[in-house]
Amino acid sequence: MNNTAAEGVALVNALKPLVADAECDVVVCVPFTDIPAVSEALKGSNIALGAQNVHFAEKGAFTGEISAAMLKEYGVKYVIIGHSERRQYFGETNETVNKRMHAALAAGLTPIVCVGESLQERETGKTEDVLSVQIREGLKGVDDISKIVIAYEPIWAIGTGKTATAEQANETIGFIRKTCAEVFCPKCAEKVRIQYGGSMNAKNCKELMAMPEIDGGLIGGASLKAEDFSIIVHYNK
């Protein structure tokens, strides 16, 4: 919940020239009220537009919610689903994540499905159990997993001062990929893009992205500064 529409436009206008030659896909996922203005500002650029949530119904008595069709009208291509803050503060469950994901896929949007464990779960050795359930229940019924982006965000590493080492992140994302291979198929698991979302920033992006299992980053605070975000985009230079 950052940036008014005017602030969002200023940020993407600053970002556009910095990432124009990016060798990776660049997406900004903005608050709903910023989408129309930011969509216009991004025209002609290599930056795709994403939203931070989507409802699972096409329409109806769901006051305060936004449907996939409403997002598509403004050129939205991606949508974050099941972010840890949605799970922690707004009662998101694996079941609702699954329903939102299917709604996004049906509308032709690319879901960025978030998974991750709490500090207590990590310290009690339940990381793999938690992630396995989130993947099996959250991605249930998917025909082609390559149409989905998975973001691993250890909740214990977000805003707590604790950080996952590159090795820890790589090992856990490797487990996620292994689980995807079991649930779907090995070739599908190789194709699926799995990002790391545990406070990747301009200082640690190179080390994290050097890990073989990490395919990208779901960037939080560092995305609010165009210069910092561009450093992450150009991590390999």
pLDDT at 199: 83
Q: Which of 92, 117, 121, 153 is catalytic?
A: 153
137 among known catalytic residues:
no
- The overall average pLDDT reported for the chain is 95
Sheet holding 193-196, edge to edge: 26-30, 47-51, 78-81, 110-115, 149-152, 193-196, 216-217
β-pair type (78-81, 149-152): unpaired
Q: Could you report the per-residue pLDDT of 194-206, keeping only the tens digit for each? A: 999 988 999 999 9
Q: Could you report the per-residue pLDDT of 171-194, keeping only the tens digit for each? A: 999 999 999 999 999 999 999 999
Indicate yes or no: pTM above 0.85. Answer: yes
234 among known catalytic residues:
no
**Rounded to an integer, what distance in angstroms lies between the CA atom of residue 194 and that of residue 91?**
24
Sign, CA torsion 183/188/189/192: negative
CATH architecture of 5-16+24-142+155-224: Alpha-Beta Barrel (3.20)
| Contact present, 65 and 51 (Cβ < 8 Å) | no
What residues does 29 pair with on adjacent strands?
A: 50
| Encoded tokens for 56 | 């699972």
In order of 110, 147, 150, 173, 208, the CA distances from 184 in angstroms are 18, 13, 14, 16, 26
pLDDT at 141: 96
Alpha carbon of residue 72 to chain centroid:
18
149 — pLDDT class (breaks 50, 70, 90) = very high
In percent, how much of the chain has pLDDT > 90?
92
**Rounded to an integer, what distance in angstroms lies between the CA atom of residue 7 and that of residue 41?**
12
Q: Could you report the per-residue pLDDT of 63-104, keeping only the tens digit for each? A: 999 999 999 999 999 999 999 999 999 999 999 999 999 999
Q: Could you report the per-residue pLDDT of 105-139, keeping only the tens digit for each? A: 999 999 999 999 998 999 999 999 999 999 999 99
In percent, how much of the chain has pLDDT > 70?
99
In order of 13, 51, 57, 93, the CA distances from 36 in angstroms are 15, 11, 21, 29
| Encoded tokens for 208 | 């994290």
Q: Which of 55, 83, 92, 117 is catalytic?
A: 83
